Structure formats: structure tokens, C-alpha cells
């Protein structure tokens, strides 16, 4: 289930809780007698049962969510889970008092208040936080099975930073710039190693983050891209001075890069090579005397 839907459910729970509380306050809290006490009593009861049912349903959905991926719990998730679970015994205690222990009736408003505070904190911490970050997120549009999908990059960063670190360091990820199709291939390959680790949505979000921040745009030659690739890759066998202290013609640079690729065929992909050559040909250019094409 998508986070948008679970967050809406959570706010629904808060809303029903507030309604239930409002009815009981009107019934018993006012100074003068309320005109239709039965209506308010029943309305409170119905809202209360709806609340309990929705609460159980959300617990069920959450249990599916955490068991599908038991590894990555942030501190926020833990506090959220504890608060959410604490609501259950409070509800049971409240129902017991109403049904069988009338002596404690006086304390019910206090129980109700505690339940509502717990619900409020639980919901605000997850759903509230979610909608807040949603409003501040950046997006990228990706093609997914022929459909254009808007992908949340901020969520993607979270996915990469929590899920791509279990087998290797993030450095391994960040030291690559790739085209969209290459990233697709990589992320799919990574997911295939442990399929339950990423959901379809997370795979897409990770892809969005990678394409946006570590992507090579094939349609556009970019000096920054070329420089990043050189900084990441060209210090492996010799210093970077070897690269930056020289000026060459375009064709000479192309030959040098070809040579580097023969030293290590894995060094650069074709798209990286084009960007590197573009950088070298723009920034470290020696004017050609007689043009050789
Ligand atoms: C289940 C373990 C596992 C997970 C999870 C995983 N990787 Fe990997 N990754 C590997 C292994 C093993 C290799 C080396 C073999 C290969 O390239 O297939 C690798 C290699 C890579 C490489 C190439 C590194 C290099 O120096 O050539 C990149 C880039 C990469 N992973 C990115 C990612 C990203 C992005 C994610 C998260 C979506 C991720 N990985 C999650 C196991 C994993
Ligand atoms: C696999 C190891 C390796 C990597 C990675 C590598 N180089 Fe080299 N590079 C060499 C070697 C070995 C030489 C020395 C070759 C020689 O002197 O004939 C060299 C020499 C050079 C030279 C000097 C060539 C000359 O004729 O004086 C340049 C410029 C250069 N590399 C650029 C790069 C760039 C740009 C990258 C990144 C795309 C890179 N290298 C990555 C191994 C590497």
C-alpha cells in the first residue's frame, strides 16, 4: 500500500477520534443538559467502533509493511511503532470500563484523552511528516512500462541511502555517472541479487534519484559531467595532474582516452567516453594547426 494511502488512513483515524471525543464532550461536559442524550451516546459509540476497526486495519497494514522489510528501522519508525502499539491496551482498558467496571467511569475522560494524545503523536509523526516532506520534494518524470510516472527524488535518496548500503558502500554508488538506461540496468541487477529488498516503487524512486543526481544526459554534452567522471576515475593509476596539466588537440585527446580504455576496458562506458572527450576538447584544448578530421 502506498504511503499516501496509509497516511490518509492515519488522518482518517485521527478525524474519527476527534468526532468521537466531540460527541462525548457535548454529552457530558456541558453545564446545561443536552437535549438528545441518546443521539450523542450512540454517535459516540458508533464513532468509537469505527475508530477501533480502522485502528485494527491500520495495524494489519503496518504489520505487512514491516515484515516485508524488517531491516531498515529508523529511530522515527521505532517511536512511531511503540506509540501506535500503546493505543491498543488503552482502547481495551477503555472498552472494559464501559462494559463492566462502572466504578471507574469517572476516569474515562482521562483514558480518552490519553488515547487521543497517543493517536495524535503517532499520526503526526508518520502521516504529518510524510505530507510535509511530500510538499517539499523534488520530482522527475520517468518512463515506466510505457507510462510516464512522476517520481519523488527525495524518497529516492532515502531508498538509496538505506537500501544500497547493505552489500557495499555508498561510495561505490556515488562514484559512477550513468545514463538513464544504464542506471535502469544497474538497479534492476542490484535488485535481482535480493529481490525482496526493494519494492517496485522503491526501485523506481532509487532510479529517479540516481538519474537526477548521478545521471548522464545523452542528449546534452556537459562540462560538469565530464569533469566529475575524470575526477572519479582518472586517479586510479596516476595522479590527476597527468590529465589537467596538459593541453592537446581534440583528436589527440581522443587517442589518449582510447589508450586509457585499452589499459582498462571497464574504465569508461561509451557515454562516459563522449562526456570526457567533450570536457577535454572544451577545457584542455590546444588549437589545431592543420585540421585533421
Ligand atoms: C544484495 C546486495 C546488493 C545490494 C542491495 C546492492 N548492491 Fe550494488 N553491487 C552488489 C555486488 C555484489 C556488486 C558487484 C558485482 C556487480 O557489479 O554486479 C555491486 C556493484 C554495484 C555497482 C558497480 C560498482 C562498480 O564499482 O562497478 C553499482 C554502481 C551498484 N552496485 C549500485 C547499487 C545501487 C544503486 C544499489 C541500490 C539500489 C545497490 N547497488 C544495492 C551487491 C548489491
Ligand atoms: C588502468 C590505469 C589507468 C587509468 C584508470 C587511467 N590511466 Fe591514464 N595512463 C595510464 C598509464 C599506464 C599511462 C602511461 C602511458 C604512457 O606513458 O605511455 C597513462 C598516461 C596518461 C596520460 C599521459 C599520456 C601521454 O601520452 O603522456 C594522460 C593524459 C592520461 N593518462 C589521461 C587519463 C585520463 C583522462 C584518464 C581517465 C579517463 C586516465 N588517464 C585513466 C593508465 C591509466
The b/e string for 176-206 (b: 16+ C-beta within 10 A; e otherwise) is bbbbbebbbebbeebbeeeeebbeeebbbbb
The three cell numbers locating residue 164: 544500497
pLDDT of residue 37: 81
Ligand 1 centre to CA of 112 (Å) is 50
Residues whose CB falls within 8 Å of the CB of residue 211, separated by 6 or more in sequence, listed in order: 140, 142, 180, 183
Does residue 264's CB lie within 6 angstroms of at least one atom of ligand 2? yes
Residues whose CB falls within 8 Å of the CB of residue 263, separated by 6 or more in sequence, listed in order: 237
Closest among 209, 237, 232, 220 to 275, alpha carbons compared: 220
Ligand 1 centre to CA of 120 (Å) is 40
Closest Cα to atom 28 of ligand 1: 173
pLDDT of residue 192: 94
Does residue 230's CB lie within 6 angstroms of at least one atom of ligand 2? yes
Could you read off the pLDDT tens digit of each residue along the chain, which spans 293 residues? 778 899 999 999 999 999 999 888 888 777 677 778 888 889 999 999 999 999 999 999 998 888 876 556 778 888 999 999 999 999 998 888 888 888 888 888 888 889 999 999 999 988 898 888 888 888 999 988 888 989 999 889 999 998 999 899 998 899 889 999 999 999 999 999 988 888 888 999 999 999 999 999 888 899 999 999 999 999 999 999 999 998 999 999 999 999 999 999 999 999 999 999 999 999 999 886 655 54
The three cell numbers locating residue 246: 596538459
pLDDT of residue 69: 64
Residues whose CB falls within 8 Å of the CB of residue 168, separated by 6 or more in sequence, listed in order: none
Which of the ligands is closest to the CA of residue 240?
2
Pair 133, 154: CB distance under 8 Å? yes
**Cβ-based neighbour number of residue 170 at 10 Å:** 11
Closest Cα to atom 34 of ligand 2: 234
Residues whose CB falls within 8 Å of the CB of residue 272, separated by 6 or more in sequence, listed in order: 177, 178, 216, 229, 233
pLDDT of residue 120: 95
Cα separation values, 271 from 135, 193, 231, Å: 35, 26, 16
Closest among 10, 212, 213 to 130, alpha carbons compared: 10
Which atom, in ligand 1's list, is nearest to the CA of 266?
27
pLDDT of residue 53: 96
The three cell numbers locating residue 98: 464501559
Pair 20, 51: CB distance under 8 Å? yes
Which of the ligands is closest to the CA of residue 235?
2
Cα separation values, 256 from 151, 264, 267, 270, Å: 39, 13, 13, 15
Amino acid at each position: 500500500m502506498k504511503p499516501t494511502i496509509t497516511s490518509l488512513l492515519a488522518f482518517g483515524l485521527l478525524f474519527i477520534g476527534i468526532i468521537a471525543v466531540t460527541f462525548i464532550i457535548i454529552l457530558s461536559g456541558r453545564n446545561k443538559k443536552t437535549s438528545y442524550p441518546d443521539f450523542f451516546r450512540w454517535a459516540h459509540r458508533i464513532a468509537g467502533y469505527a475508530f477501533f476497526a480502522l485502528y485494527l486495519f491500520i495495524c494489519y497494514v503496518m504489520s505487512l509493511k514491516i515484515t516485508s522489510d524488517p531491516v531498515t528501522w529508523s529511530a522515527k519508525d521505532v517511536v512511531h511503532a511503540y506509540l501506535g502499539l500503546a493505543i491498543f491496551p488503552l482502547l481495551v482498558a477503555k472498552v472494559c470500563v464501559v462494559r463492566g467496571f462502572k466504578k471507574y467511569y469517572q476516569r474515562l475522560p482521562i483514558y480518552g484523552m490519553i488515547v487521543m494524545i497517543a493517536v495524535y503523536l503517532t499520526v503526526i509523526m508518520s502521516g504529518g511528516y510524510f505530507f510535509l516532506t511530500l510538499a517539499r520534494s523534488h520530482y522527475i518524470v520517468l518512463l515506466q512500462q510505457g507510462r510516464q510516472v512522476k517520481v519523488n527524488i527525495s524518497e529516492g535518496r532515502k531508498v538509496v541511502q538505506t537500501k544500497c548500503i547493505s552489500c557495499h558502500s555508498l561510495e561505490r554508488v556515488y562514484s559512477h555517472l550513468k545514463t538513464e538506461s544504464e542506471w535502469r540496468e544497474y538497479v534492476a541487477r542490484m535488485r535481482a541479487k535480493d529481490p525482496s529488498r526493494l519494492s517496485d516503487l522503491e526501485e523506481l524512486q532509487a532510479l529517479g534519484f540516481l538519474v537526477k543526481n548521478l545521471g548522464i544526459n545523452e542528449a546534452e554534452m556537459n562540462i560538469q559531467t565530464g569533469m566529475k567522471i575524470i575526477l572519479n576515475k582518472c586517479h586510479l593509476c596516476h595522479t590527476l595532474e597527468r590529465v589537467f596539466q596538459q593541453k592537446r588537440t581534440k583528436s589527440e585527446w581522443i587517442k589518449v582516452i582510447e589508450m586509457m580504455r585499452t589499459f582498462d576496458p571497464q574504465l569508461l562506458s561509451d557515454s562516459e567516453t563522449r562526456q570526457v572527450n567533450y570536457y577535454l576538447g572544451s577545457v584542455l584544448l590546444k588549437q589545431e594547426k592543420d585540421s585533421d578530421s
